[in-house]
Chain A
Amino acid sequence: MLHTRPRGRIRAHLFAAAASAALTLIGIAGAAHAQSREETLRVVTGGQVNSLDAGMQGITRDGFGLNWNIYDRLVSWDRKKFGDGYIYDFDKMKGELAESFTISDDGLTVTFNLRKDATFHDGSPITAEDVKWSLDRAVSLKGPGAQMGTGSLKSPDQFKIVDDHTIQVTLDKPDRLAVPNLAVVFPVILNSDLAKEHATAEDPWATEWLKENQASGGAYKVSSFKAGQQVVLDRFDDWKSGPLPYFKRIIVQTVPEASTRASLIERGDADLSIDLQSSDVLALKGRDAVKVVSIPQINAFQMIAFNTRMAPFDDPRVRQAVAYALPFDDMFTAALYRRGAPLWGAKWENGLPDTGKFPQRLPFSTNLDKAKALLAEAGHPGGFKTSFSFNVGSAATSEPIAALLKESLAKIGIDVTVEKVPDAQMGTLISEKKLPFFTESAIAWLPSADYFFRVFFQGETRWNYGSFVDEELAELTAKARYERDPAAYETAARRMVAIAAEKAPVVMLWQPALDAVMAKDIDGFTYWFHRQTDYRSLTRTK
């Protein structure tokens, strides 16, 4: 039986005992059979895991995080040091279940050499057949299929078994995001024999069964799963795809109240949480009771979006005027306590950025005179009326943004009504392109410039927050995707960033930091694109 530190145990007993004197006698004995909880990690989160299968539509972020730890993918990314923690290195891929991989000279064939000694949790060897079935599944399911398609992985015909431990992926065009897409949360390698046993004619990919069961060979196996409450993971000691993780057991608990999560960590009852309120993080840091690893979310950004298909925001000059009237610095302080990386205030020469990386700072900064001039030029010298929306779920950061925006825009004559929208409704309104002006945050798993511009700056999906249409941008992104010459790609990417600044369909504010708060003896926290914890890399120092 596992145990807490004896101190907490006895206290808990005393409390209960005091309350019911009649039963005191059975109490305190508990402290005796204490096994150290040194190798157990207790994580508290505000979210909840709703499925073990990342392929389920509507899976939560915590669900992705769990999936990351219980399944292997063919490849993954390396990590680099950042402060007290690590950050994933998008430019450096490494094998996970694949020992190595090679890309042919024309970029059309990728060959993966699988580890020969790797097994699933049930002891059966992991073969190319399992890999093929798993990749077929990833491209065939609705949601995952759409993601895989962004790397030109679209049909099961593209995956070929060469021999038991070799699998080949063929592409129509040398898509730069093909291999990275094999490292996201969807193309996990499943135990195909086990999964197929639970597949049915209507459900050939066993989605129903895999929601609550695992067919996996990852570093951790699920030993108990209560949807929305708690997941317990045990280490798979025969794991071969990386160094054996330190923690033998991980307990992930849903604790909805943020202040309770903070107290749990401060009192040493829990070890790690990544979703505390900024104010609590600062207070905990101030009391020096815990370790805070703060990492900017390099693949995310908070923005102010305009509906570029609705007057008056269909005029780029109006959007620019608003951008110059935003009190960036005050917003950053009020909303985030300055925890993150600013995305405003760049100094560009000749209207072009130095690099093609995205997101990066754009050349906007607070300049009310310029804002007024632009507004006059666009034919609104006296300003106009509009409404600004944000979703209730993000009120902690959006409320101060909205208040400061309203105040500042009033100075250039724009009268803003602030509207709070329930989360479920916000998604609908954005999808239907009915909001004139709002704030949202965006995240792209693959932080590559052409990917960002493809997903967030064009098309008819919800993710095109600015409802933006631009021919030049469409051409650039379509081409850049298959561009094999790094210099040519860089040139194209710089032009894309410049368009984002000129046309301003959205104004980027900042990249919020991910604050991971943990016990002082926890080490090795890594920031991943899915913004969840990789338990495999964590250790407890003595």
Chain B
Amino acid sequence: MRTIAYRSARRLIAALPVLLGVLVFTFVLMRMLPGDPAVFFASGPSSGEAEIEAMRVKLGLDRSVPEQLLLYLGDVVTGDFGTSMTTGRPVLDDLSERLPASLELTILALILALGTALPLGILAALMPGSMVDHAVRIVCTAGVAMPTFVSGLLLIFVFYYLLGWSPDPTGRIDVFLIAPPEVTGFLLIDSLIAGDGEVFMAALGQLLLPAITMALFVLAPLARMTRASMLAALGGDFVRTARALGLPAWKVVNVYALRNAILPVLTTTGIMFSTMLGANVLVEKVFSWPGVGSYTLDALLASDYAPVQGFVLLMAGIFVIVNLLVDLAYGIADPRVAIE
């Protein structure tokens, strides 16, 4: 156990140069984008040159880019990610307030996606070329071919507007309910801690449509990956041997084949998770979800540098951590693999 902790720590430290690279790259890239934030933010009804100049000084844009970068690096080291001009608040506060919303959505979507994709993929692999296989292929193609905002709007139209089954698709909780005291930031967990069943159900109701929308989108890669690696595993010698020994079919499939087939699926899941967290901007927009994605998009459109830089850094950090977790999970699924 101690070695795992030690190795994990070493991995995290080794990731620091990567994070630094990401940070510098984003910083320079943002400043190469067209659009002058000083003009954008000093756009009051009677703002002239003087106001724009004052804003430029306030944002530190009057200094040279290397100078700005050094100042920014110094701030980041002390945990100051700057202030968002769009919300007027420290970026770190904004991100930490919104990250749980994005995580909750992404995790539930991933659970839904895995819960559907694994059985579908296994089924398709057990009966390759059958009707079932084709049906799975069609479902996956439809899911991946439809942009998330289309499927999101479609789900809203059917389940909220036409049928009225779903609560109104705005935010994480019914506006007329009072949110539970914040402990983890995850509404589902916080409402359980507070023992408030009503809020739990309301939050779950709000989560369902956006989570399904995102799950639909990642269903295909997960199901296809499961199918492919299951097929490979099922064709392996050890499965043939297990079958020849007369082991029950469920045991052959679930224990011997699946355990071997799960490794590439794990990798895909890890990648999917990080991608979803950043790429669910459209879903967050459609469902007015107060997550980090929609926050950063607003900032980007407004040439608001600090939030975008903070977001990219956050995503890079999460990517590093998720990769580490995937590697740890590898070790559990297959003890021969250990992280180094």
Binding site for B on A (CB under 8 A): 1-4, 8-9, 11-20, 23, 26-27, 29-30, 37, 40, 42, 44, 48, 50-51, 56-60, 142-143, 146-147, 149-150, 211-212, 226-230, 251, 253-257, 259-260, 263-264, 266-267, 269-270, 393, 422-425, 427-428, 431, 443-445, 455, 459-463
Note all chain A residues with C-beta closer than 8 A to B290.
226, 228-229
14 A-B residue pairs with Cβ-Cβ distance under 8 Å, sorted by A, are A4-B174, A8-B168, A18-B165, A23-B201, A30-B201, A51-B88, A58-B43, A143-B51, A212-B88, A227-B87, A254-B288, A260-B169, A424-B40, A425-B36
A422-B35, A424-B37 given as contacts; is B44 within 8 A of A42 (CB)?
no
- Nearest CB on A from B116, distance (A): 13
Is B136 part of the binding interface, using a Cβ–Cβ cutoff of 8 Å?
no
Query: How near does chain A come to B326, taking the closest CB pair, in angstroms?
Result: 28
- Cα A26 to Cα B39 with chains together (Å): 53
Is B253 close to A, CB under 8 A? Answer: no
A sample of 18 more A-B contacts (CB under 8 A), given A23-B204, A427-B35, is A4-B174, A8-B167, A11-B165, A12-B166, A26-B197, A30-B198, A48-B87, A48-B298, A50-B88, A58-B88, A149-B46, A212-B89, A257-B285, A259-B153, A269-B168, A422-B301, A461-B47, A461-B48
Contact A44 B170 (CB under 8 A): yes
- CB-CB under 8 A from B288, the residues of chain A are 253-257, 260
Stretch at the interface among B62-70, B120-128, B175-183, B233-241: B175-183
Q: Which residues of B contact A254 (CB under 8 A)?
A: 288
Q: Which of A2, A15, A56 contacts B159 (CB 8 A)?
A: A15
Is B177 a contact of A444 with CB atoms below 8 Å? no
Residue among A19, A44, A60 with the highest chain B CB neighbour number at 10 A: A19
Q: Please encode chain B, from 13 to 50, with 1 for each CB lying within 8 Å of some chain A CB and 0 for all others.
A: 00000000000000000000011110111111111111
Are B165 and A257 closer than 8 Å at their CB atoms? no
Cβ contacts under 8 Å, B36 to chain A = 424-425, 427-428, 431
Known: A146-B44, A462-B39. A264 touches B89 (CB 8 A): no
* Interface residues as binary, B219-248 with A (CB distance below 8 Å gives 1, 0 otherwise): 000000000000000000000000000000
Contact between B294 and A256 (Cβ–Cβ < 8 Å)?
yes
CB under 8 Å from chain A, chain B span 147-169: 153, 156-157, 159-161, 164-169
Chain B residues whose CB sits within 8 angstroms of the CB of A1 once the complex forms = 176-178
CB–CB B165/A143 < 8 A: no
Assess the B295–A228 pair: CB atoms within 8 A: yes
B48 touches A460 (CB 8 A): yes
Residues in B with CB closer than 8 Å to A19 are: 204-205, 208
**Neighbouring B residues of A17 by C-beta, 8 Å:** 201
Q: Chain A contacts of B37 at CB under 8 A?
A: 424
Interface centre among B45, B170, B303 (most CB of A within 10 A): B45
Chain A minimum-CB-distance residue to B284: A256
A9 to B168, alpha carbons, bound, how many Å?
10
Encode contact with A along B295-338: 1 for CB under 8 Å, 0 otherwise. 10010011100000000000000000000000000000000000
Residue of B nearest to A255 (CB): B288
**With A253-B175, A423-B40 as contacts: A26 and B45 at CB distance below 8 Å:** no
B130 to chain A, nearest CB (A): 30
A443 surroundings in chain B (CB, below 8 A): 45
Q: Does B54 contact A (CB under 8 A)?
A: yes
Q: Are B46 and A146 in contact (CB under 8 A)?
A: yes
Binary flags per residue of B81-105, CB closer than 8 Å to A gives 1, else 0: 0000111110000100000000000
Q: Is residue B171 within 8 Å, beta carbon to beta carbon, of the partner chain?
A: yes
Whether B301 and A423, one on each chain, are in contact in the complex, defined by CB atoms closer than 8 angstroms, is yes
Q: Does B286 contact A (CB under 8 A)?
A: yes
Report the separation of the CA atoms of residues A9 and B205 in the bound assembly, to the nearest whole angstrom.
11
Q: Give B93 Cβ to nearest chain A Cβ, in Å.
A: 9
Would A424 and B86 count as touching, CB distance under 8 A? no
Selected contact of B164 from candidates A11, A27, A37, CB within 8 Å: A11
Chain A CB within 8 A of B217 CB: no
Q: How far is the CA of A77 from the CA of B50 in the complex (A)?
A: 31
Give Cα A317 to B58, complex, Å. Answer: 43
Q: Is B73 an interface residue (CB 8 A)?
A: no
Of A12, A431, A455, the residue contacting B39 (CB under 8 A) is A431
Q: Using Cβ atoms and an 8 Å threshold, which residues of chain A touch B295? A: 228
For the complex, is B202 an interface residue (Cβ under 8 Å from A)? yes
Distance, CA A443 to CA B43, complexed state (A): 12
- Shortest Cβ distance from residue A5 to the other chain B in the assembled complex, whole angstroms: 10
Q: Return the contact of A422 from the options B34, B49, B86, B287 (Cβ within 8 A).
A: B34
Query: Who on chain B is nearest to A268 by CB?
Result: B168
Task: Please state if B167 and A255 are interface contacts (CB–CB under 8 Å).
Answer: no
B216 within 8 A of A: no
- Beyond A57-B44, A150-B46, whether A425 also contacts B52 by CB under 8 A is no
Report the separation of the CA atoms of residues A460 and B49 in the bound assembly, to the nearest whole angstrom: 8
B167–A2 contact, CB under 8 A?
Answer: no
- Contacting B200 at CB < 8 Å: which of A23, A423, A424? A23
Chain A residues in 8 Å Cβ range of B189: none
B55 sits at the interface (CB 8 A): yes
Q: How far is the CA of A263 from the CA of B175 in the complex (A)?
A: 16
Give the residues from 191 to 210 in chain B that come closer than 8 angstroms, CB to CB, to chain A.
197-198, 200-202, 204-205, 208
Given contacts A57-B55, A254-B288, A260-B156, contact A427 B43 (CB under 8 A): yes
Q: How far is the CB of A180 from chain B (nearest CB, A)?
A: 13
Contact indicator B176/A37 (Cβ below 8 Å): yes
Residue on B nearest A257 in the bound complex, by CB: B286
Contact A263 B204 (CB under 8 A): no
A461 contact set on B, CB distance < 8 A: 47-49
Q: How far, in angstroms, from A17 to B49 measured CA to CA in the complex?
A: 58
Closest-CB distance, B94 to chain A (whole angstroms):
8
Q: Evaluate whether A58 and B48 lie within 8 angstroms (CB atoms) in the complex, with A11-B167, A12-B167 already known.
A: no
Q: Are A57 and B41 in contact (CB under 8 A)?
A: yes
Which one, A146, A227, A424, contacts B301 given CB within 8 A?
Answer: A424
Return chain A residues, CB-CB under 8 Å to B286. Answer: 256-257, 260
- B8 → A minimal CB distance (Å): 34
Asked if B197 contacts A263 (CB within 8 A), the reply is: no
Q: Determine if B175 and A267 form an interchain contact, defined as CB atoms under 8 angstroms apart.
A: no
With contacts A19-B208, A428-B36 taken as known, whether A228 is within 8 angstroms of B45 at the C-beta atoms is no
Please state if B198 and A253 are interface contacts (CB–CB under 8 Å).
no
- The answer to whether B45 touches A147 (Cβ under 8 A) is yes
Partner of B174 from A12, A56, A212, A259 at Cβ < 8 Å: A12
Task: Tell me the bound Cα distance from A146 to B294 in angstroms.
Answer: 33
Docked-complex contact A142 and B51, CB < 8 angstroms:
yes
A228 in complex: contacting residue of B87, B160, B177, CB < 8 Å: B87
List 5 A-B pairs, minimum CB-CB distance, nearest first.
Answer: A26-B197, A424-B35, A16-B205, A58-B41, A12-B167
Q: Kindly state the separation between the CA atoms of A422 and B302 in the bound complex, as whole angstroms.
A: 9
Contacts of B197 in A (CB 8 A): 23, 26-27, 29
Q: With A and B bound together, what is the CA distance between A42 and B175 in angstroms?
A: 9
Residues of B near A3 (CB, < 8 A) are 176
> Once bound together, how far apart are the Cα atoms of A29 and B202, in whole Å?
12
- Please, which residues of chain A bring their CB within 8 A of the CB of B298? 48, 228
A389 CB, nearest partner CB in chain B, Å: 12
In chain B, positions 259-296 with a C-beta closer than 8 Å to chain A are 285-288, 290, 294-295
B35, B153, B170 interface centre (most CB from chain A within 10 Å): B170
Using A142-B51, A264-B170, A423-B301 as known contacts, say yes or no to A15 and B208 having CB atoms under 8 A apart. yes
